[in-house]
């Protein structure tokens, strides 16, 4: 098929590249000229394992192209994906300006029947707006061209996006046309090992499915984080509780790992947007608001523990931070717990030495310049370099290189052997045996008695 993908960000780039890998001819469009120029050179705007060689390979095979406008596309597409960003607006609702602009461009471009697919995460009813905008543009051109609108939300996990695309556990497709259904089936057949895993439904149902899925996962995380706080207060080890409830087949083990809060481009934004949708329809989003509030409180957990240990004035304290991205496998720092931690430490004049395997180029661009210029924040070249003469290590992101560190090397480098584990990656008993002072999230009886004083 000839496919156009509007938007060469995370979703658009992964989607377009994977469809090209399946033998389709794909053109990715983005208005960011520098981004497109870099992509043509094989320089990607994001880090995603396995994506760069796939992009380069498909460009070499002439199945994947990058341009800055629809006018540069020379072939008639059968399918056009809208995969632009839908960031949170000031009131928490999803900002639809890029989606609607894409719709206007499509309406001024198409000359034959095609399927227009909303891949972006959009509120319920946006597909109708997209349809009307395209119809209005066609009317202005005095054309009567048939087209179909489809909602096909993405469920790509950063760090595992290629595998998620090529081996999906489900594909959600919202539509109202048999012709569009046939085209979508043809498009996804190469990766459908189990045909029953593609679910067809109404467009609005599909739009809502994406929001509810992300909100449910965020709810599980926030619920377990709240239980972790309670466990710590009551002298209970939340990790044993997690294992216990995870063995229940009705609950399972996914998204019940306690930690220092969720982040990224999806969960925070989609929970906010769902809250706004509920309020617009006179529904009190009690649970969703609690999920958001718990996540906010959880991101303060680590800085609060640090001030309990060292006091409010951290001028003479040096802290090592391992992990800046919101999760392992990505350089995405949007809504990351590390951002809250760094801000809380630096406002108290702490000296911070941070390291992340892939996110440091993003950090240099994203973080305030005065943090670096003041000398209070330094990005270390190696994870152990970040430990030099520090009073504590804070683990924020559970990257694999951090899972089994050399404790002897750490003790020699650190001024004080203190570890604050924001992801419960380490065995408290092993830490005690190595003579480290260890503070996890909700570890209760598993840690030393001094932790009781840090319960929040």
Q: Look at residue 194 and tell me whether its pLDDT is greater than 90.
A: no
The β-bridge partners of 2 are 25
Q: Please, are residues 8 and 39 in contact by the beta-carbon 8 Å criterion?
A: yes
Q: What is the DSSP letter of 423?
A: T
Asked if residue 454 has pLDDT above 60, the reply is: no
The answer to whether the beta carbons of residues 180 and 115 sit under 8 Å apart is yes
Q: Return the percentage of the chain with pLDDT > 70, whole number.
A: 97
Q: What is the DSSP letter of 88?
A: B
Q: What are phi and psi of 264, to 5 degrees?
A: 95, -175
Composition of the chain by helix, strand, coil, percent to 5: 45, 15, 40
Question: Stretch 230-255: mean pLDDT, rounded?
Answer: 96
Q: Over 50: is that where the pLDDT of 453 sits?
A: no
What is the rounded average pLDDT of the residues 29-56? 97
What pLDDT is recorded for position 128? 96
Distance CA 227, CA 238 (A): 7
pLDDT, average across residues 210-237? 97
pLDDT value for 445: 61
Tell me what pLDDT residue 323 has: 98
Averaged pLDDT, 416-439? 96
d(CA 424, CA 303): 16
pLDDT confidence of residue 444: 76
pLDDT at 452: 44
Averaged pLDDT, 381-392: 98
Tell me the whole-structure pTM to 2 decimals: 0.92
Q: Residue 248 pLDDT > 90, yes or no?
A: yes
Torsion of CA 216, 217, 220, 224, to 10 degrees: -160
pLDDT greater than 90 at residue 272:
yes
Q: What is the SS3 assignment for 129-194?
A: HHHHHHHHHHHHCCCCCCCEEEECCCCCCCCCHHHHHHCCCCEEEECCCHHHHHHHHHHHHHHCCC
195 — pLDDT class (breaks 50, 70, 90): confident
At 339-367, the pLDDT tens digits run 999 999 999 999 999 999 999 999 999 99
What's the confidence (pLDDT) of residue 449?
Answer: 44
Catalytic residue among 18, 231, 266, 289: 266
Specify the pLDDT at position 446.
61
Q: What is the pLDDT of residues 98-134, one digit of tens each?
A: 999 999 999 999 999 999 999 999 999 999 999 999 9
Burial of 193-224, coded b for 16+ CB within 10 Å and e otherwise, reads eeeeebebeebbebbbbbbebbbebbbbbbbb
* Per-residue tokens: 297: 């409180």
Is there a catalytic annotation at residue 266?
yes
**Pairing state of beta strands 418-421 and 392-395?**
parallel
Assign 179 a pLDDT band (cuts: 50, 70, 90).
Answer: very high
pLDDT digits (tens, 9 = 90+) for 86-102: 998 888 899 999 999 99
Q: Residue 447: what pLDDT?
A: 52
Contact 305, 443 (CB under 8 A): no
Cα angle vertex 101, ends 100, 107, to 5°? Answer: 90
């Amino acid at each position: 098929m000839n496919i156009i993908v509007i938007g060469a960000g995370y979703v658009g780039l992964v989607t377009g590249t994977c469809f090209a890998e399946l033998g389709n001819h794909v053109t990715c469009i983005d208005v960011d000229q520098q981004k497109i120029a870099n992509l043509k050179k094989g320089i990607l705007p994001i880090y995603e394992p396995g994506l760069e060689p796939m992009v380069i390979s498909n460009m070499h095979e002439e199945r994947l192209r990058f341009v800055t406008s629809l006018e540069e596309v020379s072939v008639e597409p059968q399918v056009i994906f809208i995969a632009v960003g839908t960031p949170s607006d000031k009131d928490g609702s999803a900002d639809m300006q890029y989606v609607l602009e894409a719709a206007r461009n499509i309406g001024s471009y198409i000359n034959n029947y095609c399927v227009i697919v909303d891949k972006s995460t959009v509120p319920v009813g946006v597909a109708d707006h997209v349809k009307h905008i395209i119809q209005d543009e066609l009317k202005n051109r005095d054309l009567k061209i048939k087209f179909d609108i489809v909602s096909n939300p993405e469920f790509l996990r950063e760090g595992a996006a290629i595998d998620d695309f090529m081996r999906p556990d489900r594909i959600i497709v919202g539509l109202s046309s048999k012709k569009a259904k046939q085209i979508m089936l043809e498009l996804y057949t190469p990766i459908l090992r189990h045909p029953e895993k593609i679910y067809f439904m109404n467009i609005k149902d599909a739009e809502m499915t994406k929001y509810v899925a992300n909100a449910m996962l965020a709810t599980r995380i926030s619920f377990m984080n709240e239980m972790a706080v309670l466990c710590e207060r009551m002298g209970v080890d939340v990790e044993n509780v997690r294992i216990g409830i995870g063995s229940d087949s009705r609950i399972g083990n996914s998204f019940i790992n306690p930690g220092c809060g969720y982040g990224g481009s999806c969960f925070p934004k989609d929970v906010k947007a769902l809250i706004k949708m509920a309020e617009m329809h006179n529904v009190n989003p009690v649970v969703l608001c609690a999920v958001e509030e718990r996540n906010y409180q959880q991101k303060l957990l680590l800085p609060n523990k640090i001030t309990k240990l060292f006091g409010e004035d951290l001028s003479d304290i040096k802290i090592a931070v391992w992990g800046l991205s919101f999760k392992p496998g990505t350089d995405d720092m949007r809504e990351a717990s590390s951002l809250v931690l760094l801000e809380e430490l630096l406002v108290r004049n702490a000296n911070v030495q941070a390291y992340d395997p892939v996110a440091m180029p993003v950090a240099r661009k994203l973080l305030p310049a005065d943090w670096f210029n003041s000398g209070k924040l330094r990005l270390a070249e190696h994870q152990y370099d970040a430990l030099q003469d520090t009073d504590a290590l804070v683990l924020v992101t559970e990257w694999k290189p951090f899972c089994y560190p050399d404790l002897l090397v750490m003790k020699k480098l650190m001024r004080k052997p203190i570890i604050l584990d924001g992801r419960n990656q380490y065995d408290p008993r092993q830490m005690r045996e190595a003579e480290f002072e260890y503070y996890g999230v909700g570890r209760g009886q598993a840690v030393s008695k001094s932790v009781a004083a840090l319960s929040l």
